[in-house]
Structures are given as structure tokens and as C-alpha cells.
Amino acid sequence: MVIVMKPEAKREAVEKIQRKMESLGCQVHGSRGENYWILGLVGDTSKIDSSQIEANENVQKLLKVQHPFKLASRLFHPEDTIVEVDHLKIGGGNLAIMAGPCSVESHDQLMTIAQEVKSHGAQFLRGGAFKPRTSPYSFQGLGEEGLKLLKKAKELTGMPIVTEVMCQETFDVVEAYGDILQIGARNMQNFPLLKKAGKSKRPILLKRGLSATIEELLMSAEYIMAEGNPNVILCERGIRTFETYTRNTLDISAIPVIKELSHLPIIVDPSHATGKWSMVEPLSKAAVAVGTDGLIIEVHHQPEQALSDGAQSLKPQKFAHLMKSIKGMMALEK
Ligand code: PEP
Ligand code: MN
């Protein structure tokens, strides 16, 4: 952190800030330029409230050298984090494929889709039992009944379960059934929920908020990690832009950016990013090309009857085609 003092700042004012910063635990190196006093802060700056410094009338500006996230930062953890679930690896150059319906709707629906996606190469089964819907009148999910069906589907196919946890009240029941707990875009900054997830033994799939910056996503990961859970998987699922043709805009640059900034695995959800099934394969390929650690894809055998997100759900044959294209890309890389 660097504090640039105003040209007219008096020596006493500069020294006062310097003493305050030192009392908060960092070392301060002052230097006087022709017009400005510059204070360079090194060491532990975590106790410093930058907005208090900016509020000081003698301060011209404050420059932050480091990112505000630490545990999620690649600076302090250069090697990739690899999250392991039932001997499957997410991160570190492995491509994890998660697929399944948006919502668990019925026994037959889930078992059909689970077997289809498994047969085409999915490693994880996704499916929501508690659904965060924009309208309170839309299907809200089967709740615990849906979780029981997910458990059955796991017994049938062997695939670990990715399912959303929406609130603290239902956290324990979702944790009892899910192998990876998803925190959805709408809850990315639900800080009490993030803290609860930080105390869980389960890996957390943290989706980027609808209008969240990459730094905000990493700060939410930091919340989970600060409570003791190091197994966070980030997910780019499209953000709000002025473009309305697609449901959201897939921020493809977020993948290489996050790989630079963080050691955490980052996967892509092309289904929610686009809202259109026809865009899912091209954007999956784009995600693989920029180095995603995985994909989470909505698949439904009867999308026209789906209780949520039918328009973005791939039919099993289309999912099979996508998997073939991706395998072709991976073979080319080798
Ligand atoms: C979902 O995965 O079904 C979902 C609701 O995703 P998001 O939180 O990204 O909208
Ligand atoms: Mn969905």
C-alpha cells in the first residue's frame, strides 16, 4: 500500500498518519518528492481500513499494491489446488465434467438423465433440490425428496452429486446428501451462508454473482477459506451486460484471469451463461480452449417438459456430441 499525501500536507500530519499505520502493525517508509510526501507501507496491512485513510483531508490518494484476498491468492500458494471427490480430481489440468438436470423433478426423470450423462462421459451428476427461482410462483424444487433421489442416482451410477445449498436453515440436510455443495450466483455474497460453508467438510462450488467482479468472487471464496474450508471450486456462469440476446454474457476472459490471480479451480457453466441450448457446445469448446478446469452442463431428456431451464438444456444426444467434440480438442492438444 502506498499513501500519497497532498502537497500542502504539514509534516505533523504526515507523521501522525505514519504513527497510526505503525501502530496497526506495518512498517512505513516515507520519502519526500518535489511536491509530495509518499508513505510506502510494508508488512501486514490487513488491519488497515483504506477508506479511513482516504477520508483523511491530508491524503491525495491511496494505491493498493496487493489484492485484498490472501488465502485464494496464487501469490501465497503458487501451485494449483486440486479438489478431490471420490478419487475424481478438479483442478490442476484435469477437466471435470458435471452434467444433469437443472432441477430434480421425479425419480424417472433423474434416473434417466443420470444414466444418459454417465454413459456419455460425465463424472459428476448435477441437480437442484432447492431451487433459487426468480419468481415465487415457479417450481421451487422437491426439497429433501429431491436429495433422496440424488442419493439413489448416485447409487445407480456411482457419480458424486453436485447440488445447491440455498440457506443456512437447510444447510445440514443438503450437506448430508451432496458431495459438492453449490452456492448459486444469487447467494455469492450471502456472507453468513459463506461462513457456514467454510465450516463444512464438503467442497464448495461457488458461482459468480450476476453482477460480481472477479475480485468480489475471490473475496467470497476468501470468506469460505477463512473459516477453514480450503476446497473451493469457482464457477464462471455468465454476468449481466447490456446484451440481451443471450441470458447472460459468458466472461471467457475470467478463466485466464482467475488462473493468474488464484490457485483455485475454475469451471464454466455455459448453460446459465447463454440460456440457449444451441450455444452450449460452442461455448463449452471456448471454455476448454482457454483452460477451464471443468464444465457444468444442464441436460434433460425432455427439455420441452422441464420444470426449469428447459431452453438451455441439452438433450442427451446433443450432450454426447459435445463430449465428442471436447475429447477431440483434448486429443489435439496431446
Ligand atoms: C443452477 O445451477 O441451476 C443455478 C440456479 O445457477 P446460477 O446460480 O448460476 O443461476
Ligand atoms: Mn438451471
∠ CA(322), CA(260), CA(233), 5° rounding? 55
* 0.95 surpassed by pTM: no
Q: Looking at residue 78, what is its pLDDT? A: 95
Ligand that lies nearest to the alpha carbon of residue 127, given by its number in the listed order = 1
Q: How far apart are alpha carbons 260 and 218 in whole angstroms?
A: 12
∠ CA(116), CA(118), CA(119), 5° rounding? 65
Write phi, then psi, for 151 (nearest 5 degrees): -60, -40
Q: Which residues line ligand 1 (CB under 6 A)?
A: 102, 128, 132, 184-186, 207, 237, 269, 272
Q: How far apart are alpha carbons 39 and 3 in whole angstroms?
A: 5
Question: Which atom of ligand 1 lies at the shortest distance from residue 238's CA?
Answer: 9
Note the pLDDT tens digit of each residue in 182-193: 999 999 999 999
Provide the grid cell at 308.
426449469
Note the pLDDT tens digit of each residue in 192-231: 999 999 999 999 999 999 999 999 999 999 999 999 999 9
Note the pLDDT tens digit of each residue in 5-17: 998 999 999 999 9
Q: How many CA atoms lie less than 13 Å away from 33 in the CB half-sphere?
A: 12
- Per-residue confidence band for 36, with pLDDT thresholds at 50, 70 and 90: confident
Q: Looking at residue 45, what is its pLDDT? A: 84
CA 104 – ligand 2 centroid, Å: 11
Q: How far apart are alpha carbons 288 and 267 in whole angstroms?
A: 9
173 close to 144: Cβ distance less than 8 angstroms: yes
Q: What are the angstrom distances between the C-alpha of 130 and each of 50, 100, 269?
A: 39, 15, 18
CA 36 – ligand 1 centroid, Å: 50
Instruction: Decide if pLDDT at 334 tops 80.
Output: no
- Per-residue confidence band for 46, with pLDDT thresholds at 50, 70 and 90: confident
Q: Looking at residue 68, what is its pLDDT? A: 87
Question: Which atom of ligand 1 lies at the shortest distance from residue 187's CA?
Answer: 8
Note the pLDDT tens digit of each residue in 101-130: 999 999 999 999 999 999 999 999 999 999
∠ CA(15), CA(18), CA(22), 5° rounding? 140
